[in-house]
Amino acid sequence: MKLQERRSTRTAARLAVAAFAVAAAFGAAGARAADSRSHGKPAATAQATHDHGHDHAGAPGKLTLDDGRKWSTDAALRSGMTRMRALVAKRIDAAHHGKLSAAQYTTLAGQVEQEVGGIVANCKLEPKADAMLHLVIAGIGEGTDAMAGKTAGVKRAQGLVKVATALNAYGDHFDHPGFKPIAEVHH
């Protein structure tokens, strides 16, 4: 992949994370505002930012199960979450022991954001499951911002813990056979 394509993918992933964070934080009004911000951008950016075929009116504010059952998933979501989990799980112990540099956190944040971008571009869930996924992705976005040093007063390691916690919440609420929680998430 060319350098410019990687930058474009990372930018689209960051925009997607930001849109999801706004939607989760502000409910329906935030979702409409986040969606409206993608209009007028280049088609690829607008598509990757958020247009995957549904409206977010009434976006929930709390992650829940689907009447006591885990939410359905699709192959794109499961693949992206599996890759994200692998990225985070192999770094969590080093983070707890202060062995990751600022550059390593920033790189990892970019890798996680790239996976989020892939999920946004390819995932096709029913609207209620998608609304729940937005809450998970909002937590991931808060974590990657901290990992990249963009959140004042929050240590980069705390950002990685936030991402790991969001991934574990995904596993608790979405039907993803074989998805294992990340151990030692505390911090």
Which tens digits make up the pLDDT trace of 72-129? 999 999 999 999 999 999 999 999 999 999 999 999 999 999 999 999 999 899 999 9
Q: What's the whole-number mean pLDDT along residues 153-161?
A: 96
Residues 6+ apart with CB under 8 A from 178: none
Phi/psi at 174 (5° precision): -125, 140
Which DSSP letter does residue 174 get?
B
Q: What does the radius of gyration of the chain's CA atoms come to, in whole angstroms? A: 16
pLDDT tens track for 164-186: 999 999 999 999 999 999 988 87
Nearest Cα neighbor of 159 from 115, 121, 104 is 104
Q: Is the pLDDT of residue 69 over 50?
A: yes
Q: Which residues pair with 19 in a beta bridge?
A: none
Categorize the per-residue pLDDT at 64 as very low, low, confident or very high, splitting at 50, 70 and 90. very high
Burial of 129 (0-12, 13-18, 19+ CB in 10 A): buried
Written as six digits, the tokens of 183 are 């151990």
What is the rounded CA–CA span in Å between residue 177 and residue 185? Answer: 21
Q: How far apart are the first and last CA of the chain?
A: 36
Written as six digits, the tokens of 40 are 């007028």
3-state secondary structure of 66: strand
3-state secondary structure of 20: helix
